[in-house]
Amino acid sequence: MKYMGSKARFSKYLLPIILKDRLENQVYIEPFAGGMNMIDKVDGVRMANDQHEELMAMWHALIYDHWDPPQLLTEAEYQNIRTNQQDYPKHLVGYVGFNSFGGKWFSGYRRDKEGKRDYWGEHYRNITKQLPNLDGVILSCKSYLDLKFKKNSIIYCDPPYASTTKYRDDFDHKVFWNWCRKQSKLGHKVFISEYNAPEDFECIWEMPSKTTFSWHAENLSTKENIERLFILNT
């Protein structure tokens, strides 16, 4: 699924590192699963959490209720759902809200002036293609802080990245890194995607990347960043 901050293009590098020493039946869990663009390539016992209610309602409807989402919405329908979200089922609001510019929540109706791109068809095909690979994923919708883990879990974190622009940043990164320290010390294998980390974390992989959107900046400029994967230095 096209999703802001998607790790789709890095999954082929990240997953071999994260899953390298995975034991049989070792749980793989993502506290910030978003568009499920990593977990859809993992097998075995898997748990996907995200605190975005409509997003998780959408995944639940698609994976467990075999909901067939709409293949086309007019701009008027999109705007109506955007303005009157409370009048629509959450799973539909989730599906529509993320079919927006950059996979960013209700950031605007995508239309192609030349009529060449069928954005609703693409959204439909991307998501329905993912579904067979999400069969059996255990879903939850809560803050990562409220998650409970089975002993010795593999926890892959892809949180909202720390803002470099100081623009609207309501995710507490200090609390997050403390939580990572705590989970690592409890014996879980904790991997974190971020551009930067506190000094007691070690970068085990990096790759330059261009991003159009960030979780914190609402402009469309393209930025060069370095994607990194961290673990706690022990």
Ligand X SMILES: C[S@@+](CC[C@H](N)C(=O)[O-])C[C@H]1O[C@@H](n2cnc3c(N)ncnc32)[C@H](O)[C@@H]1O
Q: Which residues bind ligand X (CB under 6 A)?
A: 3, 5-7, 31-32, 34-35, 37-38, 50-52, 143-144, 158-160, 171
Closest to ligand X by CB, 115 vs 132, is: 132
Closest to ligand X by CB, 69 vs 159, is: 159
Closest to ligand X by CB, 75 vs 218, is: 218
Shortest distance, position 171 Cβ to ligand X, whole Å: 5
Cα 19 off chain centre by:
18
Contact 103, 94 (CB under 8 A): no
For residue 226, which phi and psi values (nearest 5 degrees)? -115, 115
Q: For residue 201, give every residue at least 6 positions away whose Cβ sits within 8 Å of its Cβ, in sequence order, or none.
A: 177, 180, 192, 230, 231, 232, 233
Closest to ligand X by CB, 158 vs 227, is: 158
Shortest distance, position 141 Cβ to ligand X, whole Å: 8
Shortest distance, position 156 Cβ to ligand X, whole Å: 8
Shortest distance, position 21 Cβ to ligand X, whole Å: 21
Closest to ligand X by CB, 50 vs 227, is: 50
Determine which helix (DSSP H) or strand (DSSP E) holds 207, and give its type and residue range. strand 201-211
| DSSP secondary structure letters along 84-121 | TGGGS-HHHHHHHHTSBGGG-TT--B---TTS---HHH
Shortest distance, position 58 Cβ to ligand X, whole Å: 12
